[in-house]
Structure 1
Amino acid sequence: MGSKVAGLFQLSLVKQIIISIVAGIVLAYAAPSIAIEASLFGGLFVSALKAIAPLLVFVLVISAIANQASNTNANIRPIVTLYLLGTFAAAIVAVSLSFLFPIQLTLVTEAATNSAPSDITEVLRNLIYKVVDNPVNAIVTSNFIGVLTWGIGFGAALKHSSPTTKQVIKDVADGVSKIVHVVIRFAPLGIFGLVSSTFATVGFSAMVSYTHLLAVLLTSMAVVALVINPIILFVMSRQNPYPLIFQCLRESGITAFFTRSSAANIPVNMELCKKLNLHKDTYSVAIPLGATINMGGAAITITVLTLAAVNTLGIAVDIPTALLLSLIAAISACGASGVAGGSLLLIPLSCSLFGIDNDIAMQVVATGFIIGVLQDSAETALNSSTDVVFTAAVSHAYERKTDV
């Protein structure tokens, strides 16, 4: 028996996670009361990831910039371009499938209690305020826009410091990275707790009445993950994209699916980028930035639920308006909160494009929270895995140029 347990720990992390998922489902059906208590493991794992992620980003960005050679190309600009284009493309896919398979909602009476932004100006204003947030508060509240801004600032200020100072910064960054590695090793136990408690408390029976809505949402996300992203990756690298696509979905998407937090998945993505031998100066900035602005899944959620409300109310939508909706959804998604269900609070903003009042829009938001167990999990998995895909795409394109 001891040898079997030892053999289990010698399996790859992905295989351990798959086994933990199956074990969590079995426990949820066999002993629901015990499965609910197992949520402790999941909560501790997610909390640990969320706690270490801002500090990891802060020290890695400072170290990367302070120790960056003058001739190093971090390739951040093309990655940001891919993030924005990918988010807009995801909204277009969502519009297309919503037109092909129109959705009718049974609007609920409960409304979400969170306050939603009133217009696109408020979304952009909030983003700007995040940039100038107090650095300590940015780390404490996981404001990654602020963390990145101050990390870049401190890194630039220390770029001309003594070699000893730079080495100390690098050693601190390496030390935090080792802590992250230890936390990630507990992923199977954490995901076991998340899966078992979720199945025990919710299951899939509550989703039956929302199968049409979920089908359009999940199909849109699958098309982006398995068609749009591979096309972008092939254009950039001129290589078969699917080995990398499936690796990102396995090693980033699965964890993100169950943590339901792009911020919590930053350490996982950092480890994956390191495994892929990507340039540290690139991924130390691109991955946390992607967790903030690369929101293809959020754009899909905003677009599909908005068009569902529009179709339910019998409002006609022409092609130019649909394109405008895609643009608004893409821009709004970049300002989506990094917490579970954050994209849902931007639905009233896109609904206002069609003159839908806030009371009805908030009922649509409530519908989103009902299906959030699957919708938000799939959305986060797409967002987080795409961060690595686009970072790798630009890195491979740059390598191909230098080899020519």
Structure 2
Amino acid sequence: MKNILNKWNYLGLVKQIIIGLVIGIALAVSIPEGAKSVVILGSLFVGALKAIAPVLVLFLVMSAIVQHKSGHKTNMKSIILLYLVGTFLAALIAVLASYIFPVSLTLKEGAEGFTAPGGVIEVLRTLLLNVVDNPVNAITNANYIGILVWAIILGLALRGAPDTTKMMISNISDALSKIVTWVIKFAPFGIMGLVFESITTNGLDSLLSYGSLLALLLGCMLFMALVANPLIVFAMIRQNPYPLVFKCIKESGITAFFTRSSASNIPVNMKLCENLGLDKNSYSVSIPLGATVNMAGAAITISVLTLAVVNTLGIQVDLPTAIILSVLAAVSACGASGVAGGSLLLIPLAASLFGIPNEIAMQVVAVGFIIGVLQDSFETALNSSTDVLFTAAAEYKNWRKKGKKIEIRKVA
């Protein structure tokens, strides 16, 4: 048994996840009734991630602010700007791609149990209410906007605390990060259960029937990850960006793809930033912040699915309206993190821009949940890997200005 465990650990997490994925598919196709018990593995895995992630974000950000040294310059302004530019650019790319490759849908009834926002004012109102949410309630309901705000407030309030208090907060933060790494070690078994449940519930045909929509969605996300993001990074560091891009995709994107949680991928991203030699004072804040507001994948999902229903209904969209949609999708994506259903439940808001009734828009939400097994995985992988990519790009820009050599190839 010990030898088997050693061989299993030697494989590495990515290979283990692939094995779990293959076994889950095989069981779902061959003995769907006889292997129903594996579903509990997926539920336990997701439940563990949901349980630890909100508390993790609270203590990570709080610890980073408490430990920050006065007068130490960070790159937060540049990183936040990159987050905003990247999210808007993703929405714009999705709009343009939907024009070039228009997709129509066969709408069915569904998603009647979900409530969508009524307009931009309601989204902003919800966002502000989330900011002032009770901290215990924010953690309970995974309200990451509220958690982030309370973490910043508590961190600032504890800046003058004794060193022993600061050390305790740092130790709790490290312990929570360690717990997440333990949970992620069980990812292969959890993913086996999740894949089994997805296939036995929706069937492989449910994915294949929306092949053109999936191709457009995933194509936009891949274009953002492999073309647009590298161009942004090149503009910052004036060097070949692909070694850094592939490093982030390999060590952050792949894990996020399978865990489907930006928040639970924070420890993975923090470790990657450490390996890249980045300043902890910057990445200890930018990574949890990115998991909350850096949502390029969500902006793509909102834009593509909205324009899919627009094409289905034969509505003509002019250029100014398309640009407004890009802005609306970007803003909505930033406010959607931590909301159950994430980007999908903001599709009716974007659809209302074209006068589409909520009943029809919610049918598109139902389609989103059907293809979510792939859409959500790619979306999370893009969001999470970009957190590290932009954090590194901002710091490497400063290195370049100071004449410090950026040896990206050594860390790729």
What TM-score do you get using the length of structure 1 for normalisation? 0.92
Take 1:204 and 1:366, find their aligned partners in 2: how far apart are those partners?
16
Task: From the superposition, tell whether residues 72 and 147 of structure 1 become closer, same or farther in structure 2 (CA, over 3 Å).
Answer: same
Which residue of structure 1 aligns with residue 127 of structure 2? 127
- 1:178-222 alpha-carbon deviations (Å, 9 max, x no partner): 222322222233223323333344342212221121111111111
Which residue of structure 2 aligns with residue 150 of structure 1? 150
Which residue of structure 1 aligns with residue 242 of structure 2? 242
Which residue of structure 1 aligns with residue 181 of structure 2? 181
Which residue of structure 2 aligns with residue 353 of structure 1? 353
Task: From the superposition, tell whether residues 192 and 109 of structure 1 become closer, same or farther in structure 2 (CA, over 3 Å).
Answer: closer
Structure 1: 5+ residue stretches without partners: none
Take 2:43 and 2:275, find their aligned partners in 1: how far apart are those partners?
27
1:48–1:183 Cα contact (<8 Å) kept: yes
Offset, 1:266 = 3.0
Offset, 1:247 = 3.0
Does 2:294 correspond to 1:294? Answer: yes
Identity %: 60
210-219 vs 229-238, which moves further: 229-238
Q: Which amino acid aligns with 2:361?
A: A
2:57–2:263 Cα contact (<8 Å) kept: no
219-228 vs 303-312, which moves further: 303-312
Offset, 1:403 = 4.0
2:234–2:241 Cα contact (<8 Å) kept: yes
Take 2:185 and 2:19, find their aligned partners in 1: how far apart are those partners?
14
2:143–2:339 Cα contact (<8 Å) kept: no
Take 1:267 and 1:101, find their aligned partners in 2: how far apart are those partners?
38
Task: From the superposition, tell whether residues 51 and 28 of structure 1 become closer, same or farther in structure 2 (CA, over 3 Å).
Answer: same
Task: From the superposition, tell whether residues 15 and 397 of structure 1 become closer, same or farther in structure 2 (CA, over 3 Å).
Answer: farther
Take 1:271 and 1:138, find their aligned partners in 2: how far apart are those partners?
26
- 1:72-104 alpha-carbon deviations (Å, 9 max, x no partner): 223222211111111111111111111111112
Offset, 1:224 = 0.7
Which residue of structure 2 aligns with residue 316 of structure 1? 316
Q: How does 1:76-115 map to 2 (within 5 A)?
A: 76-115=76-115
Does 2:382 correspond to 1:397? Answer: no
Task: From the superposition, tell whether residues 349 and 240 of structure 1 become closer, same or farther in structure 2 (CA, over 3 Å).
Answer: same
2:65–2:152 Cα contact (<8 Å) kept: yes
2:45–2:183 Cα contact (<8 Å) kept: yes
Task: From the superposition, tell whether residues 254 and 197 of structure 1 become closer, same or farther in structure 2 (CA, over 3 Å).
Answer: farther
Which residue of structure 2 aligns with residue 225 of structure 1? 225
> Tell me, what secondary structure is at the counterpart of 1:103?
coil
Q: Which amino acid aligns with 1:59?
A: F
Offset, 1:320 = 1.6
Which residue of structure 2 aligns with residue 49 of structure 1? 49
23-32 vs 57-66, which moves further: 23-32
Take 1:198 and 1:339, find their aligned partners in 2: how far apart are those partners?
21
Take 1:222 and 1:190, find their aligned partners in 2: how far apart are those partners?
26
Task: From the superposition, tell whether residues 261 and 64 of structure 1 become closer, same or farther in structure 2 (CA, over 3 Å).
Answer: closer
What TM-score do you get using the length of structure 2 for normalisation? 0.90
1:344–1:365 Cα contact (<8 Å) kept: yes
Task: From the superposition, tell whether residues 269 and 31 of structure 1 become closer, same or farther in structure 2 (CA, over 3 Å).
Answer: farther
Take 1:244 and 1:95, find their aligned partners in 2: how far apart are those partners?
27
Q: Which amino acid aligns with 1:260?
A: R
Task: From the superposition, tell whether residues 328 and 55 of structure 1 become closer, same or farther in structure 2 (CA, over 3 Å).
Answer: same
Superposition RMSD on alpha carbons, in Å? 2.2
Take 1:366 and 1:291, find their aligned partners in 2: how far apart are those partners?
25
Take 1:362 and 1:183, find their aligned partners in 2: how far apart are those partners?
34
1:145–1:289 Cα contact (<8 Å) kept: no
1:336–1:343 Cα contact (<8 Å) kept: yes
Q: Number of residues paired by the alignment?
A: 404
350-359 vs 236-245, which moves further: 236-245
- 1:318-342 alpha-carbon deviations (Å, 9 max, x no partner): 2122111111111111111435632
Offset, 1:227 = 0.8
Structure 2: 5+ residue stretches without partners: 405-412
Offset, 1:402 = 3.7
1:184–1:268 Cα contact (<8 Å) kept: no
> Tell me, what secondary structure is at the counterpart of 2:326?
helix
Take 1:183 and 1:204, find their aligned partners in 2: how far apart are those partners?
28
